[in-house]
Structure 1
Amino acid sequence: MDINISQLTAIIIYLIGMGVIGVIATRMTSNLNDFVLGGRRLRGEVAALSAGASDMSGWLMLGLPGAVYVSGMGGAWIAIGLATGAYLNWQFVAKPFRVYTEVANDSITVPDYFENRFRDKSKLLRVVSAIVILVFFTFYTSSSLVGGAILLESSFGMDYTLALWIGCGVILSYTLFGGFLAASWTDFVQGILMLLALIVVPIVVIYELGGWNETLQIIGEIDPSYLDITAGATIISVVSLLAWGLGYFGQPHIIVRFMGVKSTKEIPKARLVGMTWMVISLFGAIFIGFTGIAYFEVTGAPLENSETVFIMLTQVLFNPWVAGFLLAAILAAIMSTVDSQLIVASSALAQDFYKQLFRRNATRKEEMLVGRIACLVIAIIAIFLGYDQDSKVLELVSYAWAGFGAAFGPLIVLSLFWKRMTRNGALAGMIVGAATVIIWPMFADIGGIFNLYELVPGFILSWITIMVVSLLGKAPSKEIQDEFDEVKSILKKS
């Protein structure tokens, strides 16, 4: 495929803009607290769009439309689950987590919070949670880089492997230096760009097909089951798709936005902005895949790779300059997730491994350097995981999402609302949740219940383990219980 200069120029303009934001953020990043958490000074709307953009990643623009393109409206169950989970996360977790992380010795990372919340002097909670973050974020980051490579390969005929390296290099160029602020501010801009693209593209496709009724007629003639959300659905498949919503409670790159909000007063505004953005974006992604079925059937050119449906629609329907900025929206979705993941993963290495286990007296500059080196190493490993050109964005995201949801979700929720929870319960639950996600898919060939999304058994078993182990052990110390009561008192006043 020949390189379209107009599209390439539009993308370059976009990338330069993100670079400028990164440079500005660098001037405000002087220590690890700034690098990891932005000094807890995010406005509500920035936190909301940043959380949404870093959450959705390339799967919103590639994976979800691709799934709907293949299965029709049956793929919409996942969107229902995600919207429900995201709302519950903002409604019940955001405010107490923001307060608790500050009260618990001003925790700036998720492992930091676990250790401080349970007064874990053994460092086991910190180390195990950091390992979970590094393992699953490497897969998550790889999924986003694969999405970027698909974009560059499909749009510009670029070699897939070269595209992996170029996409990663662009993201590292601002994440390494600007840290959390650069990630959050660029995510805010990227979230707006993603929203516009997800609104514009399906509207234009429907117009080209002659209207909504004509679109439905074409799809119905292809296969009536595409119009039925229950077609081919089983209890296990529906529960598996809806269960994606459970994952929200344990995603470090999302809940860290709660920690970074400047005050709890910003939470209601953030929830409204974030949920509005999310619902519109999810509907847009669904309709891109859905209308793509009709469009490519009419043109007689069905797609070989379903996850390129958004890319191909922009190529054939829009002026090259407009297409360039629409393609930049895909890049925005990818970049907004990778930068956030790299920040959280690098903080786990710098703050939770290096400083705590090896160099407790490390200087600020030394911590920053280690964090940036960690970003680079994790990105390189993710690139090599993405070398397989048959990799599917949605499959990689699914595995990482389940890992975090099962390992951290029950732990975070119960730590905020259950006074009797203990360190041993937290540790056991985290290990059981992560192990279940790893082991469960190994029995998929058996079928039946083992076809259930691994997040479901992982979440349930982790929750039960935390409660059982906590109740069998000694009650938390008075210091821990008093801190729990202090947090509740602050929340009541706010």
Structure 2
Amino acid sequence: MISVNPILVSIVIYLVLTLLVSRFAANRAGGDEDFSRKYFLGGQFMGGGVLALSLVATYTSASSFIGGPGAAYTFGLGWVLLAVIQVPVVMLTLGVLGPRLWTLAKESKAVTILDIFRDRYHSKALLWLAGMSLVAGFLGMIVVQFTSGARLLNVMVGMSYANGLFLFVGTVVVYTLWGGFRAVSYTDAIQGLIMLAGMVALLLGVLAHGGGMANLTSQMASIDPGLVQPHGAGGFMSWPFLFSFWILVCFGTIGLPHTVLRVMAAKDGKAIARAMVLGTAVTALVTFLPHLIGALGRPLVPELSSPDEIMPTLMLRLFSPWVAGLLLAAPIAAIMSSVDSMLLQATSTLVNDLAIRNYSLSEGQQKWLTRVITIVVAGVCTLLALNPPQMIIWLNMAAFGALQVVFLWPLVLGLFWPAASSQAALASMVLGLAFYLPQTFLKIKIFGLHAIVSSLLASLLAFLLVQVICAGKKRE
């Protein structure tokens, strides 16, 4: 008699459906564009709904469904309030950058964010620094996502860590290669819906088993009164911490390359406007729900060895294996929708920005090189994920913040300040990294603030100072 693991079967069905969606998306790709634009951007095809869901799914990662709920489990409802700081992300990204960036991408036929920088600044040094930062940052973040996906399969299914890693990576690589950016965007949109549906079902299950919100919060207060207070258990969340968190996960994300690319692929201005409203609503739900579930899970599962296990543990304890397998699709979707975008952009930087721009390659050579680089990048990240460094979570946060200090001001000021020079943008990148990396790895906090605050401020001041100097020299 063959034993069937219902959770594993549900997961495999979900992964197969993901591949079918990617194949469908690939078949819809237009044939009148060159390979790099069709594969790495897919054309300007996204309507408001797809743009909103794809943008939210890309921004939402393992931290939103594993680390975030784990923190809410530890610190209580205060962390739930902290998490909703992220809600304006879509509104800020589309509202600040949307119309101007979309117009520029259409006029210049830009495929990547480095194409925007190339057309705006005409500086090889800036492009190399931005390109190296993007690839290095995404490599670290991809390793974290691969590790999270493998660990999730290991905990939920009992699959070995290595087998779970290979299954997860294999699926992501196949559908990314299959259809490029268009396939990634459509699968991300579907995954956004799955995240939302899964979290609604899990919250209802938690409330039903816990006797309602009032009963659960009462039990939380009896465990530790700080769990139901704004600043969390032990007053952990100070005002400097709150301000730092807002900068890191909300304001600073305006310039993240993998979210900016979605704006460039919008169909038109109306799609951007619709996506602002829908995306903000979806962000509110997929941010609020998992963190609330993590906090309310404290009375239901008080004996966890690791807070990060709260979501998969609740799925296994509150539902049948078949339903738990379906719910598991939500965190898997969150991880996949982030890692596919990072993998595609790391590849596009190496292929489109470094190879195609500098060498004359036929379309066949471009396709071959793209497939090889994608597999190589995924392979390197897989090897690192097989034995991830102990400080991998800090590497992830370091990469997240480093991308912000490199891209935020050169992108925003470059779009809206016609006089902004390449020298100012390059100085902004260099000084921002010089401030950020030492503070991050040496755990230095100026006035109790996260390194991202002083680093973005230093980056901005460097931009303005060098710009003034350059303007003065031109007048002379």
Q: Which residue of the other structure, out of 253, 262, 282, is the alignment partner of 2:267?
A: 262
For the residue of structure 2 that corresponds to 1:40, the secondary structure is coil
The yes-or-no answer on 1:426 pairing with 2:430 is no
- The alpha-carbon distance between structure 1 residues 393 and 83, as it changes in their structure 2 partners (threshold 3 A), is farther
- The alpha-carbon distance between structure 1 residues 124 and 79, as it changes in their structure 2 partners (threshold 3 A), is same
- The alpha-carbon distance between structure 1 residues 153 and 340, as it changes in their structure 2 partners (threshold 3 A), is same
CA shift at 1:453, angstroms? 2.2
Separation (CA, whole Å) in 1 of partners of 2:445 and 2:459: 21
CA deviation string 1:140-179 (max 9, x = no partner)? 1111111101111101222223322321111101111211
- The alpha-carbon distance between structure 1 residues 57 and 392, as it changes in their structure 2 partners (threshold 3 A), is farther
CA deviation string 1:81-131 (max 9, x = no partner)? 32234322222212211112223x22110011101012x1x5222222111
- The alpha-carbon distance between structure 1 residues 132 and 448, as it changes in their structure 2 partners (threshold 3 A), is closer
Separation (CA, whole Å) in 2 of partners of 1:246 and 1:457: 14
For the residue of structure 1 that corresponds to 2:56, the secondary structure is helix
CA deviation string 1:252-306 (max 9, x = no partner)? 1111000001111211111111111000111101111111111112xxxx21221
Q: Which residue of 2 aligns with 1:48?
A: 52
Do the aligned residues in 2 keep the contact of 1:35 with 1:368 (CA within 8 Å)? Answer: no
The yes-or-no answer on 1:83 pairing with 2:87 is yes
Do the aligned residues in 1 keep the contact of 2:398 with 2:440 (CA within 8 Å)? Answer: no
Q: Which residue of 2 aligns with 1:467?
A: 464
CA shift at 1:370, angstroms? 2.0
Identity, % of aligned pairs? 28
Q: Which amino acid aligns with 1:72?
A: G
CA shift at 1:138, angstroms? 0.6
Q: Which residue of 2 aligns with 1:189?
A: 190
Q: Which amino acid aligns with 1:69?
A: Y
Do the aligned residues in 1 keep the contact of 2:53 with 2:188 (CA within 8 Å)? Answer: yes
Q: Which amino acid aligns with 2:279?
A: G
Q: Which amino acid aligns with 2:8?
A: L
- The alpha-carbon distance between structure 1 residues 154 and 390, as it changes in their structure 2 partners (threshold 3 A), is farther
Q: Which residue of 2 aligns with 1:129?
A: 130
- The alpha-carbon distance between structure 1 residues 394 and 201, as it changes in their structure 2 partners (threshold 3 A), is farther
Please list, as runs of the form range in 1=range in 2, the aligned pairs for 1:207-218 lying within 5 A after superposition: 207-218=208-219
Q: Which residue of 2 aligns with 1:353?
A: 354
Do the aligned residues in 2 keep the contact of 1:58 with 1:393 (CA within 8 Å)? Answer: no
Q: Which residue of 2 aligns with 1:362?
A: 361
CA shift at 1:240, angstroms? 1.9
Q: Which residue of 1 aligns with 2:289?
A: 284
The yes-or-no answer on 1:442 pairing with 2:441 is yes
Q: Which amino acid aligns with 2:333?
A: A
Do the aligned residues in 2 keep the contact of 1:424 with 1:469 (CA within 8 Å)? Answer: yes
CA deviation string 1:402-435 (max 9, x = no partner)? 1111110111111122222101111221222233
CA shift at 1:391, angstroms? 5.3
Please list, as runs of the form range in 1=range in 2, the aligned pairs for 1:231-246 lying within 5 A after superposition: 231=232, 232=235, 233-243=237-247, 244-246=249-251
Do the aligned residues in 2 keep the contact of 1:136 with 1:403 (CA within 8 Å)? Answer: yes
Q: Which amino acid aligns with 2:413?
A: L
For the residue of structure 1 that corresponds to 2:60, the secondary structure is helix
- The alpha-carbon distance between structure 1 residues 392 and 203, as it changes in their structure 2 partners (threshold 3 A), is farther
Separation (CA, whole Å) in 1 of partners of 2:81 and 2:386: 30
For the residue of structure 1 that corresponds to 2:53, the secondary structure is helix
Q: Which amino acid aligns with 1:417?
A: F
Q: Which amino acid aligns with 1:117?
A: R
Separation (CA, whole Å) in 2 of partners of 1:41 and 1:389: 38
Q: Which residue of 1 aligns with 2:114?
A: 111
Q: Which residue of the other structure, out of 56, 61, 69, is the alignment partner of 1:57?
A: 61
Do the aligned residues in 2 keep the contact of 1:249 with 1:409 (CA within 8 Å)? Answer: yes
Q: Please, which runs of 5 or more residues in structure 1 have no aligned partner?
A: 478-494
Q: Which amino acid aligns with 1:386?
A: A
What is the TM-score of this pair, normalised by structure 2?
0.92
Please list, as runs of the form range in 1=range in 2, the aligned pairs for 1:224-235 lying within 5 A after superposition: 224-231=225-232, 232=235, 233-235=237-239
What is the TM-score of this pair, normalised by structure 1?
0.89
Q: Which amino acid aligns with 1:324?
A: G
Separation (CA, whole Å) in 2 of partners of 1:171 and 1:66: 25
Separation (CA, whole Å) in 1 of partners of 2:377 and 2:241: 33
Q: Which residue of the other structure, out of 247, 256, 264, is the alignment partner of 2:252?
A: 247
CA shift at 1:350, angstroms? 0.6
For the residue of structure 1 that corresponds to 2:201, the secondary structure is helix
Separation (CA, whole Å) in 2 of partners of 1:316 and 1:391: 29
For the residue of structure 1 that corresponds to 2:357, the secondary structure is helix
Separation (CA, whole Å) in 1 of partners of 2:411 and 2:46: 22
Q: Which residue of 2 aligns with 1:24?
A: 24
- The alpha-carbon distance between structure 1 residues 346 and 475, as it changes in their structure 2 partners (threshold 3 A), is farther
Separation (CA, whole Å) in 2 of partners of 1:367 and 1:476: 43
Separation (CA, whole Å) in 2 of partners of 1:368 and 1:462: 38
Q: Please, which runs of 5 or more residues in structure 2 have no aligned partner?
A: none
The yes-or-no answer on 1:100 pairing with 2:97 is no
Q: Which residue of 1 aligns with 2:342?
A: 341
